[in-house]
Amino acid sequence: MKIFHQCLYALLVALLISACQKQKEEVAKSLPRSTPEAEGVSSEGILQFLEAADTSMHEFHSFMMLRHGKVIAEGWWNPYRPDLKHTMYSVSKSWTSTAAGFAVNEGLLSLDDKVISFFSDDLPDSISSYLSELTVKNLLSMSAGQEPDPSWRVATQETNWVQAFLRTPVLKKPGTEFLYNSLATHMVAAILQKVTEKNLIDYLRPRLFEPLAIEGVDCEVDPQGISAGGWGFRVKTEDMAKLGQLYLQQGKWNNQQLLPESWVKEATSAVIKDSAPYLPEDRKALSDWAQGYGYQFWRCRHNAFRADGAYGQYIIVIPEKDVVVVITSETTDMQKEIDLVWKFLLPAIKDNPLTENNAIVNKLRARLTSLALPVPQPDQEKHNQELLNKTFVFESNDMKYESIRIQSIDQNYQVDLSIDGITHSFRFGSGAWVLGETTKLGPFLVPAQGHFVGFPPTQVAGSYSWSQDELELTLRYIESPHTERFKISLETDQVLRLTLFQSSVPGNAVLDIKGIYTP
């Protein structure tokens, strides 16, 4: 019996040690936490920012603020969550730039290397003098000399993006004029893949992701298998914060210099000093897009810099305040969204620790834990039963929607939507979000060749509501900024009408079709 108790005790001790070790590992993966006032930031200012965010035209998905390397405020608007990745769009460029920094430091390439030197098999028959001058630095600083930006055309129509880029005329002397060009960033990714023999994820893993305890990152690839460095990354909010903190710390992490300090300074400086020469000086002073551009980082007002992506994805670094602000969202006016940071958060940052006002602190904590996007509210009396349990076949349409069937199951709706030979099933809650996943592609700014190929199913949240015999289905793609809304009604008991809206995507109402029910 004594031996049994000794063994049992040893087992319990081992389990306890294992649990403690696991907890330490989990803590190590996270940034340290603190409170606003302890780090010299007013909780009231953060609360005002959140209140302004919720009453603004912008739809926020997540927010995180760091001071002195510690997270002092964080929140996700339900159904968005901290464990989910979020499409970065052009924040991806800053991850690509970081990879370039590592490669330059390792001697694998130089900023002065000529772009054509890496792609002998993809060069056009005739190489112009400007193309022959084009360097890696020109790609990183958005001064490739192509006009207009060829990114959309090439990504949506071509299968060899490198070749298509090199065959696009270079009309301006490289390095002389700024023109945003996502395909130029993709060329950086292609060069990195040439010299490292790894894609961006694999190359960054031991150099960046592992030291910063970043896991689960993924990135789209082009039809040739090259990482889509201009827009393809998906990472979590805290991963964004870690990248911002690394740059705030001049490339140092846990007392180890990961990126050279010289690279960080140059990459975040105004390499191209005037990115908006057409603006008068008074308007430049109010624009965060007129402060200059570095190597895939924008300069900001208040001597700050940022990574940013379409529809409101930001890593804002304010060195003079030792602050990082991260936002994921969906907006059509990114300047007005950044203005909220300057109006409410910047004045809240003080030089020394502050005394806590318990009432305000508790109010902020409650607000951060209860952030939520509005849920469509049901009206049980307005259900049109004639719409349910029937399969409606759509007329021919450009988006290849073929049929739809809606069923009521346990207070929820199941919708089976057939598109181009594939049936996608969704659940929509009554006054609540129902979580699920889908292989259906949601709205996306760049519907590139091979978009999301090889990615796991997309996480979604669905809810429905009725209004005057019209059913509205809200489908949120909660790993992206975007939402789809389907408005469905019956014109007769045999004819259904479906209108599809996609938030923040040009054109908005992208589909308006009829479906026929044949018993």
Rg of the chain (C-alpha set)? 25
Domain edges within the chain: 380-517
Give the residue with greater pLDDT, 370 vs 284: 370
Local confidence band at 303 (pLDDT 50, 70, 90 cut-offs): very high
Least confident of 34-48, 318-332, 448-462, 495-509: 495-509
pLDDT digits (tens, 9 = 90+) for 135-168: 999 999 999 999 999 999 999 999 999 999 999 9
The CA-atom distances, in angstroms, between 71 and each of 44, 214, 298, 360, 452 are 16, 16, 23, 18, 32
DSSP state string for 80-136: --TTS-EE-TTHHHHHHHHHHHHHHHTTS--TT-BGGGG-TTS--SS--HHHHH-BH
Query: How many Å apart are CA 61 and CA 481, to the nearest integer?
Result: 8
Superfamily, domain 380-517: Calycin beta-barrel core domain (2.40.128.20)
pLDDT value for 505: 67
Q: State mean pLDDT over 355-365.
A: 97
Residue 504 is predicted with a pLDDT of 73
Q: How confident is the model at residue 506 (pLDDT cuts 50, 70, 90)?
A: low
Whether the pLDDT of residue 19 is over 50: the answer is no
Cα-to-chain-centroid distance, residue 149: 21
The per-residue pLDDT for 343 is 98
More confident residue, 13 or 276: 276
Give the model confidence (pLDDT) of 412-433 as tens digits. Answer: 999 999 999 999 999 999 989 9
pLDDT, position 384: 80
Q: What is the pLDDT of residue 276?
A: 67
- Phi, psi at residue 486, to the nearest 5°? -105, 120
What pLDDT score does 456 carry? 92
CA-based torsion, 387, 390, 395, 397: positive or negative: positive
Which residues lie across from 501 on neighbouring strands? 485, 509
pLDDT at 298 over 90: yes
Instruction: Tell me the average pLDDT across 381-392.
Output: 85
What is the DSSP secondary structure assignment for residue 442, as one 8-state letter? -
Contact 92, 239 (CB under 8 A): no
> How confident is the model over 189-210, as pLDDT tens digits?
999 999 999 999 999 999 999 9
Instruction: Give the residue, 92 or 509, on which the prediction is more confident.
Output: 92
Q: Which of 1-15, 151-165, 189-203, 224-238 has the lowest mean pLDDT?
A: 1-15
Q: In this predicted structure, which of 8-12, 390-394, 439-443 has the lowest mean pLDDT?
A: 8-12
Q: What is the pLDDT of residues 254-263, one digit of tens each?
A: 999 999 999 9
Q: Rounded to two decimals, what is the model's pTM?
A: 0.92
Mean pLDDT across the chain, nearest whole number? 92
Residue 47 and residue 367 in contact, taking contact as beta carbons nearer than 8 Å: yes
Nearest residue to 435 via CA among 59, 74, 83, 53:
83
Q: Give the pLDDT band of residue 302 (cuts 50, 70, 90).
A: very high
Read off the pLDDT of residues 166-179 as tens digits, 9 standing for 90 and up: 999 999 999 999 99
